[in-house]
Structure 1
Amino acid sequence: MSGPRSARRSGLRRLALLSALLVALLPGASPDAEAEPDTEPGERYSNLQTEIMLHPMDGFSGHTLRKNEIIYNQSPFTLPLPSWFWWGATDWLTVEFDSLPLLGGLLVEPHLPVPSFNLRFRLFRGSGRQPSLAFETMWQHLWRPYAQEDREHLLVEREGSTVFARVNLSQPLSEHLSVHLSAGATWTQSARIENRGRDTFHGRTLDNSITPDASIALDWRVHPRVSLHASASYGTTFTYSDNQPRKMQALYGLRLAPFYRSDWSILRYLRMELPAYVIYWQDAREMTSFPVPLFPFVYWQWQL
């Protein structure tokens, strides 16, 4: 979620074009004849107060999707390639397919898909004020050294496999307010984290290293159309600057479901996450931030 502002504007234009094409071409993107106006917001239509969230603002929840529930996520900065999607294989197992590296790996040497998969297993589903508990693990393998962060004063380069495993807990505090806690560890086959262009060099190389991960997130579903989120984490995260060990990160922002009662399914299932963030790489002693939640990634969440 970082880069020149011109790249952001270009990405948003591409996303607008993609949305227009989806409206015109996708099955089910036309008005749904069975959809009827609702008298009570959230009573019939899925919305932000009723939907499962897996990684709200890069936190880790203790929930899994329902069987055959789908979430397709699209970042404007990866277009025209798709980003990633989730599938509820069962009520207790949710599977993620990282389509960007799987397809993008074909475009660069050695022209092989980059394996990248995430599994989340439900351990306990709470009801009411009871907590929900899940185990989550992810594996990604980079065939060649890849500069994931390539900035003026920062380099984060990874190679080989990265695996994380963690336990996630979601505790409801009220009907629409929850806290998400997560802890675990990451094994990194090879990573280089260092500054550059500075008078003093700071950096670290990780080889077959195991490092701790932990995060806390707050999740407030204030309205069927709007939810507010904040998170703080140490170590590996899933969404922003993902799979990078030993980084410190704080985010706040919101999710939107602006058209959740629309007769058009492509609009009814459309969701957005708008983050503001600060990320600190302690090994390089470098930081990046974006203080205002302006640039979203979008996703569609629906039940097959």
Structure 2
Amino acid sequence: MTNNVKKLKLRYKIVNKFNIKFVLNLLSKNEKIGKSDAIEIISFVTKIEYSEVLFSLEKELSRKHFRQIIKISKSVAKGKPLAYILGYKIFRGHKIIVNKNTLIPRMETEQIVDFANDFIKTNNSKMNILDLCSGSGCIGVSVALENDKDINKIVFSDISKKALAVTKLNIIKNQLNNKSEIVKSNFLDALITNKNKFNILLCNPPYIDLNDEDVDSSTLKFEPKIALYAKDEGLFFYKKAITNIDVIMKTEEKMLLVFEIGWKQKNDLEMLLQKELGLKYNWKFEKDYFNNWRYLIIKN
């Protein structure tokens, strides 16, 4: 009897000692939780930097931390986006605040910042930049943080007052108040009324066709519909932007417009560009990390 009690006590002690390696292995058994998500959950709960988690595999976790990790992982397994649970998303190494009123920043969108950075580096003037349909502000905030001395002002614009409240949090968090402006606008309407003009326009607009049924179920369930769908087979906002280039851009200076597009929209956009721009401006399409057509770039 005494030996059995000792064995039970020993087993209890073993089960109640959870290290990071054990938890990572446990989470990896759920196919709905990727390794990066598992590391992010552990980092969030334990306050260990994301980059340090894999160097801390033998670190023991408290029962409280273990329960928190399991609770979060269960929500993720049920389909709730991890970014909404944690309240942030890492975007180009920057911690961007998000909530249910903003889209979750994607890896594909990071490349928009790359195009802007390359353009800024090859031009020596101070830039006025527009983050159009800004949502969380992840694009504009990243450009500002990565090109601090080369930016005059960044305008963050969105139709959603609730999304702009998140943008404001990200601006304050990253101490960008002195070079940022927030404008509530139905796409370009208020900006045109205010006679704003820009050197760079960066935009990830709503571009999903209203009749498109091939949309991830989690995206449909949790992310704001106003940031996803557009009329005219998803082309509405591209048409409006392209026809207003001369109104909204500093065309007498070097200019850059970058739009994220749906991977099936390239052909339709090519026809639109040929009709509206012809040879007036230079335009091209670029692919994303997954070899899908994802960006429309316009320059003068």
TM-score, normalized by length of structure 2?
Answer: 0.31
State the structure with more CA Rg.
Answer: 2
TM-score, normalized by length of structure 1?
Answer: 0.31
More helix by share: 2
Could you say which structure has the greater relative contact order, defined with CA pairs below 8 angstroms and 6 or more residues apart? 1
More strand by share: 1
